[in-house]
């Protein structure tokens, strides 16, 4: 192979593939968010996802989700959904609140199959949707059996 045939081969096109693949995972997340909101616009903000930045294993990762809301009968959080787009089942859980909750906050432990952003989508009583996200680095992944 000489220099000219090497340059015209597909090898040099490789770096150009990477941004396209990245853009596709972005739309995948948007697709799940749209599924949760039923097509409505999901705005960034108001939701805080608190997780450890580095998790030793993906089998049990503590996640605390806090939504800024007065939690009055006029203005409260109805539902919070946790999304992990690279899990085999990306919709992890959803939590229903009411004004009797007093505070729109929940803590649980989740499984993660990959290094990824944990996204939480909140549905407010006025019909708007908000989301927050945090990246979690997992050194030993959950669902290893699936790869086998």
- Strand, helix or coil at 36? helix
Examine residue 84 and tell whether it contacts other proteins (CB under 8 A).
Answer: yes
* 100 φ/ψ angles, rounded to the nearest 5 degrees: -75, -5
- Strand, helix or coil at 75? coil
- H or E segment and range at residue 127: none
Question: Which of 134, 131, 132 is closest to 116 using CA atoms?
Answer: 134
Beta bridge partners of 119: 83, 133
State the nearest-atom distance from the C-beta of 25 to other proteins, in Å. Answer: 18
Is 88:62 a contact under the CB 8 Å cutoff?
A: no
Examine residue 86 and tell whether it contacts other proteins (CB under 8 A).
Answer: no
- Give the binding-site size for other proteins (rule: CB under 8 A): 34
Beta bridge partners of 122: 80, 130
Selected binder of other proteins within 103, 135, 139, 140 (CB under 8 A): 103
Q: Between 10 and 73, whose beta carbon lies closer to other proteins?
A: 73
Q: Between 25 and 60, whose beta carbon lies closer to other proteins?
A: 60
Which window, 11-19, 46-54, 126-134, 138-146, contacts other proteins (CB under 8 A)? 138-146
Which residues sit at the interface with other proteins, rule CB under 8 A?
59-61, 64, 71, 82, 84, 87-89, 91-103, 105-111, 143, 145-146, 148
């Amino acid at each position: 192979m000489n220099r000219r045939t090497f340059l015209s081969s597909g090898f040099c096109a490789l770096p150009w593939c990477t941004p396209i693949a990245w853009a596709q995972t972005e739309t995948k997340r948007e697709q799940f968010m749209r599924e949760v909101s039923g097509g409505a616009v999901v705005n960034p903000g108001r939701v805080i996802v608190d997780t450890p930045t580095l998790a030793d294993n993906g089998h049990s990762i503590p996640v605390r989700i806090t939504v800024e809301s007065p939690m009055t009968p006029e203005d409260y959080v109805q539902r919070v959904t946790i999304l992990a787009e690279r899990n085999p089942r990306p919709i992890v859980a959803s939590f229903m609140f009411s004004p009797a909750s007093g505070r729109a906050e929940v803590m649980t432990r989740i499984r993660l199959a990959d290094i990824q952003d944990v996204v939480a989508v909140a549905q407010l009583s006025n019909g708007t949707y908000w989301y927050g996200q945090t990246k979690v680095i997992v050194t030993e992944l959950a669902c290893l059996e699936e790869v086998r």
